[in-house]
Amino acid sequence: MADPTAMTTLVPHSADKKIEGVAVAKDFLSVFCRAGGLQGINTYKLGAGMPSSLGDAADLPFDEDAYSLFGASQGPFASPLLRYGYTSMTTPSTVVDVDLGTGEKVVKKVQPVLGGFDQARYETKRVWAKAADGTPVPVSLVWNKGVVKFDGSTPLLLDGYGAYEICNDPYFSSSRLSLLDRGFVFAVAHIRGGGEMGRMWYETGKYLDKRNTVTDFIACAEHLVATQVCHPKKVCIEGRSAGGITVGASVNMRPDLFCAAIAGVPFVDVVTTMLDDSIPLTITEWEEWGNPVTSSEYYNYMKSYSPVDNVEKKGYPNMLVTAGLHDPRVAYWEPSKWVAKLRDRKTDDNLLLFKCDLGAGHFSKSGRFDKLKEIALEHAFLLKVTGAAAAPASKL
């Protein structure tokens, strides 16, 4: 075993940067990292003779404000080429080779997009909202430049997750173009509980800080309304699985803020599920939410945000809730129970639709066209409740 005292630190720890991977070649070291909510690649020139000698770090440049990197590899050890994947909400998945010696980039493959897709019609950027406690929260946006005016008249779909340190990074979706061409702005709120801003971003959005996830999401919606990104009465939100807490708790806390909500296989009955250790996933999930069986503090805190436990007699936005009969992660009775309670207590006439798919699990049906049908249902719901269906995509 190597002597620890003889080792040299090549890339020191930084509280502002999270290292996600490395690739080593004969003459270069590439460090895949995340800082300020964005992924990056830092490249170092290895010194002659001693691998402990590093030149200054060079950041590979990327043109867009919001993007994702994936699938990087170094290839032959002696080669100066580094291959990585790139995508954004305007750029289909793209494989790129970069020569670390010259900086020259060569695009090797681009995901085909049918239907006359023109990337120049769309734009993406990142903005920052301010959370209730003053913490800056990044939000990624995409829109059709020829349709959206940013005069406060636009419908918005805001996506949120915020759990398990999963990074809800921006990515390209061909099916999303249908909404963008009909005038929607699509946004992703990179809220606490996820991993977009490093480990502490996750730590401050779990256990007894879980409410930060929800209040961050609400703050992002408020910011987009205040900056006239969207119409104040056309704010739509969506979240799946653990994102069901984000959506469900948000409509409980601020039902007036939202026009519509889509909750896909939502985890909404937090207290009841975490009390039942006969459910296969419950014990491992205590690492994420806390153990209400042994701790009254965790029990009371969970009950303060659990969507099912906070439904009140008041108006709620239009809602579409889905479930899968064979879902092993979020059992169908959770969203069923939530919808039943909403129907009993809500005082409005807005839509409340519940769709339990009898042939699906947690990730919907496996067929490609079946998945597209689910997306079409969600889009039809959004177009109906916002009135955006009057603008056919064929004329944009």
Residues recognised as catalytic: 241, 327, 362
CA distance 213 to 218: 9
Say if strands 28-35 and 38-45 run parallel, antiparallel, or are unpaired.
antiparallel
* Torsion sign across C-alpha atoms 168, 170, 176, 180: positive
Other CB atoms within 10 Å distance of the CB of residue 2:
6
DSSP 30-76: EEEEEETTEEEEEEEEBPSS-TT-B---EEPP-SSSS-EEEEEE--S
CA distance 76 to 84: 14
Who's near 346: CB < 8 A, 6+ residues apart?
Answer: 311, 313, 314, 315, 316, 352
- The alpha carbons of the chain give a radius of gyration, in whole angstroms, of 23
Length of the chain: 396
Residue whose token pair is 């995340």: 34
CA distance 17 to 4: 24
CA distance 346 to 253: 14
CA distance 192 to 196: 8
Q: Could you give the maximum distance between any two Cα atoms of the chain, in Å?
A: 75
CA distance 43 to 5: 26
